[in-house]
Structure 1
């Protein structure tokens, strides 16, 4: 439990003890999870320019007005809190009519829009959760890549990286073994270790968005139901 006392979300929920630390933790977690918010706004039908502006304004208000101070620690997963806060924010924007006055109708396509906009059949909530999972995995993969680089195993990683998220079959192992001049069983061991480490890093990323081990297990279970990948 000592691990969870220092997670971003636990620090935020304990803001009365250290408001400055809580603000820093909130800013960090907002930077990390900007894309799911943008996905939600885009899937609500806003254009690129409006979605970018609304996303920035949402996070600015979240940090400046400390909406998180109203969060209930007993109901404490940051993903659920952030989605609820975002739903209320957009509802207020729609009621005030301010969102419709943004951007002047000028299109502005960004890289974030291209990666964040989900298929049209998805609801905004589904788009948010899908993007959340992808963001968690992406952060974990980047951390794994830094570890691989520090260990000097880049060439091995380049050959096996495609098997991190989706399980390889026996033919994949054979082909990789031929390219690496290794035995298939040896390749299988390397893949197993990489996938195991990735899962550990994913779990560590998610730990920063919950306040206890029970919530972490619940968050992992929820995210497994959102995505079809076996990386979780």
Structure 2
């Protein structure tokens, strides 16, 4: 699914969690880990590295680093966050994981020219081998465009978020033995997709469903996608008021 500015209205119709019902999030757990044992912080940081290395790598590559250097720097960046207790400087109540990581990364990249070498690879985090092909694919950009490292980071953040949600949705359908329905309807997750691919008549015939039931299936898939998207965004902010704003931002970076 290729997000666009026209997709926003059909995908952000999600309400923020009720006051007092905001769950512990990936971001809030990292903030908690800063005050607890280093082992727990290391585990939290390792999880961050697995989830968000592509935006970091894309930023560093766009800065002109070679693939090998960008990989080393990506590992070193996450190690630096833990070794310098960087999370201790975050002011609770104002944290967005995306914003914090981008600011920290820009500072890290700016300081690299003053060092004789990058931080020791892996640092305080267990080494994680990066997928070289996936890493370079995420950095592909038309050479004629003026895409900044910051925009590369933001776009890869958004792509990763949407891919995670799409994979979760696919898994749910596969678990129920309905992967064929998912594959046939995924192009219609946004309103933009209604004019793409086969007609509902053709799809309904292929799946053995009537058109009315298929329209209901499309509606339910969209609703579930929106819910999963909101849940994933919730993991990266520290208050319910930030959820919809973050979803809006996620789509704006493609505008």
Paired residue secondary structure (1:167): helix
Paired residue secondary structure (2:171): helix
Give the deviation of 1:141 after TM superposition.
1.3
Q: Is the 8 A contact 1:15 1:69 kept in 2?
A: no
What is the distance in 2 between the residues matched to 1:114 and 1:134?
14
Give the deviation of 1:151 after TM superposition.
1.2
Q: What pairs up with 1:59-74 in 2 under 5 angstroms?
A: 59-74=78-93
Q: What pairs up with 1:76-87 in 2 under 5 angstroms?
A: 76-87=95-106
Partner of 2:12: none
168-177 or 82-91: bigger deviation: 168-177
Change (3 A) 1:17 1:41: closer
Change (3 A) 1:163 1:4: same
CA deviation string 1:45-73 (max 9, x = no partner): 11111111111111122233331121122
Partner of 2:221: 194
Partner of 1:10: 28
Change (3 A) 1:3 1:35: farther
The gaps in structure 1 that reach 5 residues or longer are: 100-108
The structure with the greater share of residues assigned to helix is 1
Given candidates 216, 224, 227, the residue that maps to 2:251 is 224
CA deviation string 1:62-92 (max 9, x = no partner): 2333311211223210000000000000111
150-159 or 168-177: bigger deviation: 168-177
Count of equivalent residues: 220
Given candidates 150, 156, 160, the residue that maps to 1:135 is 160
Give the deviation of 1:17 after TM superposition.
5.5
12-21 or 183-192: bigger deviation: 12-21
CA deviation string 1:191-222 (max 9, x = no partner): 22112211211111111111110121221121
Give the deviation of 1:110 after TM superposition.
2.0
What is the distance in 2 between the residues matched to 1:16 and 1:93?
25
Change (3 A) 1:69 1:5: farther
What is the distance in 2 between the residues matched to 1:145 and 1:191?
14
Q: Is the 8 A contact 1:117 1:127 kept in 2?
A: yes
Given candidates 151, 171, 174, the residue that maps to 1:146 is 171
Higher relative contact order (CA 8 A, sep 6+): 2
Given candidates 169, 172, 175, the residue that maps to 2:195 is 169
Q: Is the 8 A contact 1:11 1:21 kept in 2?
A: no
Partner of 1:156: 181
The gaps in structure 2 that reach 5 residues or longer are: 1-18, 119-130
166-175 or 46-55: bigger deviation: 166-175
TM-score when scaled to structure 2? Answer: 0.77
